[in-house]
A and B are shown apart, each in its own frame.
Chain A
Amino acid sequence: MKERKIKREKKFVLTGIPGFDNLFEQGIPKGSAILLAGGAGSGKTNFCLQMLAYNAAHGKKCYFMGFEESEERLIDHMEDFGWDPKKLIESGNLKIKRFLTSEIYYYNKKSDDHVEAMMTKEADPLLMELEPLAIAEDAEFKPDFIVLDSLTSVSSTFKGKEQSYRFYVERLFRYFEKIGSTTFLITETEQTPQIYSPTGVEEFLADGVIIFYNFRKENNRESAIEILKMRGEKHKRKIVAMKITDEGIKVYPDQDVFGAMEI
């Protein structure tokens, strides 16, 4: 008798970014942790804000955790693109919060205590029981989507304590996996990146890696995007054109990027 295999039904999420979702057969597997790597001004933050605006408008709970720009500034960016962030915040579907890098701590779920600042302590096996970051501060708010902007800022806090950072990042990925949110983690790289994260470990831990390029062609810049990796989903294996328009990001799934051919 043949053994019958029961295939678990997968769920997928969409970003709502025109053209981008067409790069996948179905979408991003729900609950994935995705690394977004790219240089300054390559569109990573806008991509995340647009994706959150789309999903918040479709009734999903979305959480932007920033370490860089202020809440006001991020809201201004969203208003410039016409995404009406204040309405989404009022609806309770969108939350934008700026953290200080000094707030990177472990959270003790059992006692509601904020325990240890990781930058003051090397990896401690006792901390394995604790949750990284303070996502759980509002027990009612269970995000479907989380954006962390950026892992590079987090890593800078651990300067000189790389072991602690690796430990922290691993726990962070495990934590995101456990809470089931689809998570986007931004990392700052060069404009045409070869290394996609602060230590290189992050891209192995992540379920997906999306790269944002900013190619130089003569005296112009050409934006492009590539899905390097996405566990559990078929996707286009090509660097394709991307534009930041007045309405937001637009991806052209069939458009070659000529700037990329000059490298």
Chain B
Amino acid sequence: MIDVKKLKDELSKLAQDSIVLVETSAEKSFEASMTCLKILEEKYDNGIILSVNRPYVNLVSNYKKNGIDTKKMFIIDCISKKHYKEMDVENVMFLESASALTDISVALGECMQRTEGKKFVLVDSTNIMLIHNKPHIFARFIHGVLTKMRLNKVGGILISLDDKTNEEVRAEIAQLCDKSIKV
């Protein structure tokens, strides 16, 4: 179990447009992601979820189980395009894969522009993206996305596994965020 109170306390202290790196273990990763989303949902009007971890259908089902309002979430799904090409829903965009960094960056930028009200971005997770991309290119991608978030005054959370692989990239990402929280 993750320390929900600690996470809530830490996140509530931060400004609306803060960007946070949340580090957790592989076992707690999904729970951490859901907990972060519930906290963000209370704080913001709308959310943009970049999912390279679970497909849209699975995410929506879990959001509903956890009482998260799915109408407030726009999901960029990078894993199940081939299965759901013709899905007739408005709050999802299917992209080719987690390695299509240019498309992902363009999609995030367009969603930030289009989404109304106070909005956040949740990236789940940086480790999965690192499986598909070279570390130095991924670091540049994150830099570009975080710059777009700053320019659009969008807050957010990047979920990452607290492991020793890609230490350099982890340090670069942490440096770009306002805070790192381990749960």
Alpha-carbon distance A220/B96, docked complex (angstroms): 7
Cα A257 to Cα B100 in complex, Å, equals 10
Q: Is the CB of B102 within 8 A of A259?
A: yes
CB distance from B103 to the nearest CB of A (A): 7
Q: Is the CB of B140 within 8 A of A222?
A: no
**B102 and A218: CB pair below 8 A?**
no
Check A262/B97 contact, CB under 8 A, given A252-B106, A255-B102, A257-B102: no
A58 CB to closest chain B CB (Å) equals 26
A 207-263 contacts with B by CB, 8 A: 217-220, 222, 224, 241, 243, 252, 255-259, 261-262
B137 within 8 A of A: yes
Interface residues of B in 121-161 (CB under 8 A from A): 132-134, 137, 140-141, 144
Decide if B109 touches A217 in the complex (CB within 8 Å): no
Known contacts A258-B141, A261-B137, A220 near B100 by CB under 8 Å? yes
Q: How far is the CB of A110 from chain B (nearest CB, A)?
A: 54
CB <8 Å contact, B96 and A258? no
Instruction: Tell me if B99 counts as interface (CB < 8 A to partner A).
Output: yes
The docked-state distance in angstroms from the alpha carbon of A222 to that of B140 is: 16
CA of A219 to CA of B98, assembled, Å: 11
Q: In the complex, which residues of chain A have a beta carbon less than 8 angstroms from the beta carbon of B106?
A: 241, 243, 252, 255
Task: Name the CB-closest residue of B to A243.
Answer: B106
Q: Are B97 and A222 in contact (CB-based, < 8 A)? A: no
Considering the complex, give the chain A residue whose CB is closest to the CB of B99.
Answer: A218
- Decide if B105 is an interface residue (CB 8 Å cutoff): yes
Q: Tell whether A256 pairs with B99 under 8 Å between CB atoms, given A261-B137, A261-B140.
A: no
> Which single member of A219, A252, A258 contacts B101 (CB below 8 Å)?
A258
- Tell me if B's interface is mostly helix, strand, loop or mixed: helix
**Total residues of chain A contacting the partner, CB 8 A:** 16
Known: A241-B106, A255-B106, A256-B140. A222 touches B134 (CB 8 A): no
- Name A222's contact: one of B100, B109, B132 (CB within 8 Å): B100
Q: Hey, which chain B residues are within 8 Å of A255, CB to CB?
A: 102, 105-106, 109, 144
The size of the chain B interface, using a CB distance under 8 A, is 17
Q: Which of A219, A241, A258 contacts B97 (CB 8 A)?
A: A219
Given the complex, which residues of A lie within 8 Å of B133, measured CB to CB? 258
- Report A-chain residues with C-beta under 8 Å of the C-beta of B105: 241, 255-256, 258
B97 cross-chain contacts in A, Cβ below 8 A = 218-220
Find chain A residues with CB under 8 A from B101 CB. Answer: 217, 258-259
Q: In the complex the two chains form, what is the Cα distance from A220 to B99 in whole Å?
A: 8
Identify the closest chain A residue to B133 (Cβ).
A258
A243 and B102 alpha carbons, distance in the complex (Å): 10
With A218-B97, A220-B96 known as contacts, the answer to whether A256 contacts B102 (CB < 8 A) is: yes
Q: Which of B103, B134, B144 contacts A262 (CB 8 A)?
A: B134
- Provide the bound-state CA to CA distance between A27 and B144, in Å: 27
A217: chain B residues at CB < 8 Å are 99-102
Minimum C-beta distance from B67 to chain A (A): 36
- Shortest distance between the CB of B161 and any CB in chain A (Å): 21
Contacts of B134 in A (CB 8 A): 262
Measured in the bound complex, the distance between the Cα atoms of B138 and A217 in whole Å is 13
Q: What distance in Å separates the Cβ of B6 from its nearest Cβ neighbour in chain A?
A: 35
Across-interface contacts of A219 in B (CB, < 8 A): 97, 99
Q: Which 3 A-B pairs have the closest CB atoms?
A: A258-B101, A218-B99, A222-B102
> Which residues on A are within 8 Å of B, measured CB to CB?
217-220, 222, 224, 241, 243, 252, 255-259, 261-262
**Can you list 7 A-B pairs with a CB-CB distance of less than 8 A?**
A219-B97, A222-B103, A241-B106, A243-B106, A257-B102, A258-B133, A262-B137
